[in-house]
A and B are shown apart, each in its own frame.
Chain A
């Protein structure tokens, strides 16, 4: 594996290998010395054209736990603010000898272009409304850790599916790993051209009793150029997850959210802070999963 651009590129064996390696990486985080010498002397550049806290910090922690050198590059306050193009930035990174570039970009497909310009590995940390593969992998890891399996699991992805790169990456990966996915949201926010392997519902209350996992998506106001629903209150009445709805789920069911949350909009504090919510675990697991990805991309002969 040279790049990690899309979960569509992962077959079941590779995805499972990433999750298995992540399990080993997780045990490192519980040790006295949380560090492995594996990527000593390698340089990982975090190239972030969009605001991000958890993903950037998570990649930084993952690279550092593997002993790689990390360079953080955010578009704000850099030559990008002076008008440098992605291609010129790529050449700069190339000249600095980056072994891997972790890129987040508002334009869908930017990581694919970058992969053609640099000799190192490219990891997609979120591109526009396209994909966010490491988020899908950490979600799959969290589901497997909590539920013990992925095959045959029923996952409901709820909310602003249309603008969600998390949803897209999850649908592709969960299909590969044998889980059943139902997309739930208002008709204006659920795409109609997704693969036939998913089901679509506009009624959250009907889906909840059969869902092993409910993944709540953030309502992405920054990507909404039209009015997709009448009001925030109406949205949260129909598609928000509150305590009453949580109790309609099977007793083993879990609630996930990729963060950052709009508390009171798509999820109530009661649900977000309940023991059935995996939101904090997802952040912890993110570091292990990203360590596994970095190892698979950079660990061997380059």
Chain B
């Protein structure tokens, strides 16, 4: 039943069969509230985000990072540089899978040296993406500190990694899938928990 969930179609009639086996854990309004809260937490924890740089991990970490920067600007009028990080070339499972497309890596304006870098991703799962992101980040420069913000923490860590800012903790079974949909990429905001058969190492 994983297939209807990966279907990008926005026709509600086609999604009906999936509803039975999946449930919405965050609605569009929830996603917005969660992003607002993380933006506030970053401001609070970094004393006004003066040295903060947001680095979105491709693919869905990128729009979340942009939204956080937009919220921080709205709340305190501060411009926080945003960059993107594609970790494909740093993955530890390249040899186990067929070739993956390489996405864009864009250093934030002003670079990362001496800055407090907040890595931003949609789902925290095994922690392997974040490990790869830390490797990629250290090749870009030497930040003063690195923090991690995620929209969803679904547990099942395989590495000693934790997030500094968590939108929502969602207890899951390994067989389940957490699907984050974002306006900028998928046309709408939503987080769905689906009974998947595929064990996706996000």
Q: Which residues of A does B touch, CB under 8 Å?
A: 1, 17, 20-21, 24, 27-28, 31-33, 35-38, 66, 295-296, 299-302
Complex CA distance for A8 and B193, rounded to whole angstroms? 46
**CB of B89 within 8 A of chain A?**
yes
**CB of B141 within 8 A of chain A?**
yes
Complex CA distance for A17 and B88, rounded to whole angstroms? 15
**CB of B153 within 8 A of chain A?**
no
Binds A, one of B9-17, B33-41, B98-106: B98-106
Find chain A residues with CB under 8 A from B98 CB: 300-301
- Is A300 touching B102 in the complex (CB atoms < 8 A)? no
Complex CA distance for A37 and B90, rounded to whole angstroms? 6
Q: Which residues of B does A touch, CB under 8 Å?
A: 86, 89-90, 94-105, 135, 138-141
Interface of A is mostly: loop
- Is B99 touching A299 in the complex (CB atoms < 8 A)? yes
- Is A300 touching B90 in the complex (CB atoms < 8 A)? no
Contact of B89 among A20, A33, A295, A300 (CB under 8 A): A295
Contact of A300 among B94, B135, B140 (CB under 8 A): B94
A-B contacts besides A300-B94, A300-B99, 7 pairs, CB < 8 Å: A21-B102, A27-B105, A28-B139, A33-B138, A35-B139, A38-B94, A295-B99
**Most chain A C-beta atoms within 10 Å of own C-beta, residue among B86, B102, B138:** B102
Interface of B is mostly: loop
Find chain B residues with CB under 8 A from A20 CB: 102
- Is A32 touching B140 in the complex (CB atoms < 8 A)? yes
Q: Given A31-B139, A32-B139, A300-B94: A37 and B89 within 8 A (CB)?
A: yes
Contact of B102 among A1, A32, A295 (CB under 8 A): A295
Distance (whole angstroms) from the CB of A249 to the closest CB of chain B: 34
Complex CA distance for A302 and B99, rounded to whole angstroms? 10
- Is B95 touching A24 in the complex (CB atoms < 8 A)? no
- Is B140 touching A31 in the complex (CB atoms < 8 A)? yes
Distance (whole angstroms) from the CB of B148 to the closest CB of chain A: 21
- Is B140 touching A301 in the complex (CB atoms < 8 A)? no
Complex CA distance for A302 and B96, rounded to whole angstroms? 8
Find chain B residues with CB under 8 A from A36 CB: 89-90, 139
Q: Could you list some 23 contacts between A and B, CB below 8 A? A: A17-B101, A20-B102, A21-B101, A24-B103, A31-B139, A32-B141, A33-B139, A35-B139, A36-B89, A36-B90, A36-B139, A37-B90, A38-B94, A295-B99, A295-B102, A299-B89, A299-B94, A299-B99, A300-B97, A300-B99, A300-B100, A301-B95, A302-B95
Complex CA distance for A251 and B165, rounded to whole angstroms? 54
- Is B97 touching A301 in the complex (CB atoms < 8 A)? yes
Of chain A, the residue at the smallest CB distance from B111 is A32
Complex CA distance for A1 and B98, rounded to whole angstroms? 10
Contact of A37 among B103, B104, B135 (CB under 8 A): B135
**Most chain B C-beta atoms within 10 Å of own C-beta, residue among A21, A36, A299, A300:** A299
Of chain B, the residue at the smallest CB distance from A37 is B90
Identify the 6 closest CB pairs spanning chains A and B, nearest first.
A300-B99, A38-B89, A33-B139, A36-B89, A300-B98, A21-B102
Distance (whole angstroms) from the CB of B57 to the closest CB of chain A: 15
Complex CA distance for A37 and B139, rounded to whole angstroms? 10
Distance (whole angstroms) from the CB of B65 to the closest CB of chain A: 18
Complex CA distance for A37 and B95, rounded to whole angstroms? 12
